[in-house]
């Protein structure tokens, strides 16, 4: 396995405090710069290519066609990738902290599976109603989250019970989804599966603006739960000893976590893996204990934006962005795991 | 969601109601009773699985078909060629998933861990997707080797990444590596799936997980791997118990942490890989059964494994029987039925505080 001479490896990268502190500033700033560069690149790429300078000058709104392309067509999609990625990253960090489980993610409360169930019901059983997918997705997801919470509630909601209830409900919904897919017509099943992979193809301002506003509100509200969450991380008894009211705090975190997943899902479909991977990527880059909320948001945005760039421009056939996030985020996580192993040795 | 209605009934009961597991003597009796009952139930389920199917065959004819008596040709074919291998497949797949689930939860001490978490399902699925997309394979008997090799290679990769730079594979690192690899492969499977309607249909059917049309040519290649896996699992029981006390204490008790973890990963690869190769990914059995077994027997890993070995095939075979008759003459894949049987049961257990943390 490893050489016999190595001393027992420390759990975290062993950095002197100052280097660690510097890292906490350098990493977010570097991620931010990368995001900005990628955003400009994304605004320039397409059937009507623009140089970065042209992109920036297009923002004045005076450049005629270039301004239309950048502001009306490409900006909503780029903003959606940034905002949705950030929201999913924060949501994942909240859930991992709440459940104290590295596999915790909004998926455990069943939102993604439930929203897919909703969409499948809309597409295969009740297509005559002509209710938009967004509504089906929100209804299915929120109903599922509510059911999971209600089933897990018993004089309070506790981490393990929430996880196990979530697993059970999610498993049933996934089975139901597979069953509906197997029975549906081929084209319907394929387009439903494409929705379930998550895609930013159809995002425009009309769809984006309401969810952006709500996301900003939810993001501001996250600040309120940061300190209760840190206390919860110490354990229930310690948190209660500090005078924290456990149930309202947990419910608050849960509602925010679900909201931050629900808004992107309603617009773009369930984009897998961003919420699971971003907090881990953030922790591995920043190091140290505690909840790297800001860095999780930045990582989520970075993963989703670069995945969307690849999905749009780098592949022979257009694929839903969710497929690329999964491959890209997963590979990045593997690289970080390998590099972390190298440092430790 | 049906389970909501049963909730209020259980609310009033004190947690001491399941106190029988508390005292050592009571626990010993309880374990034995549970094991004996599980064996009897399993026997009954096997008989039912042979007797029940979409073609009605009277019990006497089932018996005659199995013992070589006189039966009409189609009846004999239904029992001997279809139901017998299918029942055997259910038995071995169920037992393998149960034990693999018990081992992965003991290894990672994570109640969310299931046998697929080390990348077995996605590895097998990816290999099958490749065989469907590029080699034109369309039969379960053609998938089996691909699935075995895919599961094995993926777990090896996960193991290497999860244990680099540390003396023994560290559970959290392993889980992350498994999640990362699974994600990458799952993404590529979706890409293959969504690229062509024909592949879509074939992969969709495989991914639902089913015991249908699993003849001896599917079961036999996987059997040696499953047998080896169960054997190693038996040898590991004691060391996994020591490991549950924590790394340091396990080492002071003389258990080699590195060897135990390595062995556990081997068990999971062999068992979950073999099971997936036969039936496709069947979620939930390996996750749910160890929780139930832990509730019945307490924390001893050897007992948890034994009971998982017995209980998981019961769940799988009962689900398969239900799947055969519920949409008669059509079929519901077994993986879908297990979720609908197991889900409410798991919620009921966790609400009554019968699911214990690890």
pLDDT at B43: 93
Cis peptide preceding B329, ω within 30 of 0: yes
Q: Note whether residue B167 is domain-resident.
A: yes
**Chain A residues with CB-CB distance to B347 below 8 A:** 151, 164-165, 168-169
- Best mutation target among B347, B351, B358 (most A Cβ atoms within 10 Å) is B347
Task: Convert the pLDDT of each residue in B278-331 to its tens digit.
Answer: 888 887 888 888 888 888 888 888 899 999 999 999 999 999 999 888 887 778
Range of the domain at A193: 26-344
Exposed, middle or buried: residue B129 (CB in 10 Å: 0-12, 13-18, 19+)?
buried
Q: Note whether residue B358 is domain-resident.
A: no
Highest mean pLDDT among A140-154, A222-236, B106-120: A140-154
Helix axes of A159-183 and B334-351: crossing angle, nearest 10 degrees = 160
Q: Note whether residue A107 is domain-resident.
A: yes
Task: Convert the pLDDT of each residue in B11-36 to its tens digit.
Answer: 333 333 344 444 566 777 888 888 89
Looking at the partner chain, which of A165, A167, A324 has a beta carbon nearest the beta carbon of B287? A167
Given its phi and psi angles, is residue A291 left (phi above 0), alpha (psi -120 to 50 degrees) or beta?
beta
For B312, how many CA atoms within 13 A lie in the half-sphere containing its CB?
Answer: 35
pLDDT at B89: 93
End-to-end CA distance of chain A: 12
- Res B125 pLDDT > 90: no
- Domain containing A208 — which CATH number? 1.10.3470.10
Q: Rounded to 5, what percent of chain A is helix, strand, coil? A: 75, 0, 25
Rounded mean pLDDT of A306-318? 85
Exposed, middle or buried: residue A106 (CB in 10 Å: 0-12, 13-18, 19+)?
buried
Q: What pLDDT band is residue A345 in, cutting at 50, 70 and 90? A: very low
**Nearest residue on chain B to A278, judged by CA atoms?**
B180
The reply to whether residue B190 touches residue A323, judged by beta carbons under 8 angstroms, is yes
The reply to whether residue B11 touches residue A154, judged by beta carbons under 8 angstroms, is yes
Report the greatest alpha carbon distance in chain B.
65
* CA atoms of B269 and B181, how far apart (whole Å): 15
Range of the domain at B338: 2-351
Least Cα distance to A147 among A185, A173, A178, A126 occurs for A173
Q: Note whether residue A137 is domain-resident.
A: yes
Give yes or no for a contact between A307 and A329, defined as CB atoms under 8 angstroms apart.
yes
Radius of gyration (C-alpha) of chain A in whole angstroms = 21
Q: CB count, 10 Å around CB of B254?
A: 8
Highest mean pLDDT among A57-61, A242-246, B227-231: B227-231
Task: Convert the pLDDT of each residue in A43-96 to its tens digit.
Answer: 888 888 888 888 888 888 777 888 888 888 889 999 999 999 999 999 999 988
Which residues neighbour B132 within 8 Å (Cβ) at sequence distance 6 or greater? Answer: B138, B192, B199, B202, B203, B206
- Total domains in chain A come to 1
Q: What pLDDT band is residue B232 in, cutting at 50, 70 and 90? A: very high
Q: Note whether residue B357 is domain-resident.
A: no
Q: Note whether residue B126 is domain-resident.
A: yes
- Domain containing B60 — which CATH number? 1.10.3470.10
* CA atoms of B286 and B294, how far apart (whole Å): 13
Rounded mean pLDDT of A228-234? 82
DSSP state of A107: G
Distance from CA of B129 to the nearest CA of A (A): 15
- Total domains in chain B come to 1
The Cα-based distances of A212 to A72, A86, A203, A204, A216 in angstroms read: 16, 11, 12, 12, 6
Q: Note whether residue B317 is domain-resident.
A: yes
Q: Could you report the predicted ipTM of this complex, rounded to two decimals?
A: 0.71
The Cα-based distances of B213 to A81, A180, B218 in angstroms read: 44, 21, 9
pTM, full prediction? 0.75
DSSP state of A184: S
Distance from CA of B164 to the nearest CA of A (A): 6
């Amino acid at each position: 396995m490893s050489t016999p001479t190595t001393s027992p490896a420390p759990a975290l990268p062993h950095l002197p405090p100052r280097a660690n502190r510097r890292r906490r500033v350098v990493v977010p700033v570097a991620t931010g710069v990368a995001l900005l560069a990628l955003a400009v690149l994304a605004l320039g790429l397409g059937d009507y290519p623009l140089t970065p300078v042209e992109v920036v000058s297009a923002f004045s709104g005076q450049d005629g066609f270039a301004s239309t392309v950048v502001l009306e067509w490409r900006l909503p999609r780029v903003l959606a990738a940034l905002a949705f990625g950030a929201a999913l990253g924060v949501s994942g960090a909240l859930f991992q902290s709440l459940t104290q489980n590295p596999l915790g993610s909004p998926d455990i409360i069943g939102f993604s599976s439930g929203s897919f169930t909703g969409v499948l019901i809309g597409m295969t059983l009740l297509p005559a109603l002509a209710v938009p997918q967004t509504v089906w997705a929100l209804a299915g997801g929120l109903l599922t989250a509510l059911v999971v919470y209600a089933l897990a509630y018993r004089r309070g909601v506790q981490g393990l019970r929430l996880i196990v209830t979530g697993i059970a409900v999610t498993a049933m919904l996934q089975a139901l989804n597979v069953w509906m897919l197997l029975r549906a017509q081929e084209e319907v099943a394929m387009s439903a599966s494409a929705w379930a992979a998550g895609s930013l193809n159809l995002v425009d301002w009309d769809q984006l603006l309401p969810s952006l506003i709500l996301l900003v509100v939810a993001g501001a509200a996250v600040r309120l739960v940061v300190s209760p969450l840190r206390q919860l991380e110490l354990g229930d008894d310690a948190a209660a000893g500090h005078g924290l009211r456990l149930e309202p705090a947990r419910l608050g975190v849960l509602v925010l976590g679900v909201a931050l997943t629900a808004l992107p899902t309603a617009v773009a479909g369930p984009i897998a893996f961003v919420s699971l991977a971003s907090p881990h990527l953030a922790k591995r880059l920043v190091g140290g204990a505690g909840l790297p909320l800001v860095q999780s948001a930045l990582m989520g945005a970075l993963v989703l934006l670069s995945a969307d760039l690849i999905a749009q421009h780098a592949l022979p056939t257009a694929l839903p962005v969710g497929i690329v996030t999964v491959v890209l985020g997963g590979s990045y996580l593997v690289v970080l795991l390998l590099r972390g192993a190298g440092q430790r040795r | 969601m049906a389970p909501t209605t049963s909730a209020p009934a259980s609310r009033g009961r004190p947690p001491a109601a399941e106190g029988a597991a508390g005292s050592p003597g009571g626990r010993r009796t309880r374990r034995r009773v549970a094991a004996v009952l599980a064996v009897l139930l399993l026997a009954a389920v096997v008989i039912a699985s042979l007797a029940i199917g979409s073609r009605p065959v009277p019990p006497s004819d089932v018996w005659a078909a199995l013992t070589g008596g006189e039966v009409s040709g189609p009846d004999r074919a239904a029992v001997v060629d279809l139901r017998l291998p299918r029942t055997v497949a259910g038995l071995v797949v169920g037992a393998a998933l149960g034990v693999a689930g018990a081992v992965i939860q003991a290894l990672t001490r994570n109640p969310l861990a299931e046998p697929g978490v080390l990348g077995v399902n996605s590895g097998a699925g990816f290999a099958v997707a490749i065989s469907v997309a590029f080699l034109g394979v369309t039969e379960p008997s053609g998938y089996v080797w691909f699935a075995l090799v895919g599961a094995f290679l993926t777990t090896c990769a996960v193991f290497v990444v999860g244990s680099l730079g540390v003396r023994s594979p560290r559970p959290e690192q392993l889980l992350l590596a498994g999640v990362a690899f699974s994600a990458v492969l799952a993404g590529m499977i979706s890409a293959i799936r969504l690229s062509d309607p024909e592949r879509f249909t074939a992969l969709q059917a495989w991914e639902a997980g089913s015991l249908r049309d699993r003849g001896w040519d599917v079961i036999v290649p996987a059997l040696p791997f499953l047998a080896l896996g169960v054997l190693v699992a038996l040898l590991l029981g004691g060391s996994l118990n020591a490991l549950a006390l924590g790394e340091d204490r396990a080492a002071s008790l003389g258990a080699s942490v590195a060897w135990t973890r390595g062995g556990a990963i081997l068990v999971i690869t062999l068992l979950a890989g073999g099971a997936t190769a036969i039936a496709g990914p069947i979620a939930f059995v390996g996750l749910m059964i160890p929780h139930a077994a832990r509730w019945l027997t307490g924390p001893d890993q050897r007992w948890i494994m034994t009971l998982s070995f017995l209980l998981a095939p019961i769940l799988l075979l009962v689900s398969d029987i239900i799947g055969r008759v519920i949409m008669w003459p059509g079929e519901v894949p077994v993986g879908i039925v297990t979720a609908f049987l197991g889900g409410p049961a798991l919620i009921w257990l966790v609400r009554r505080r019968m699911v214990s943390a690890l």
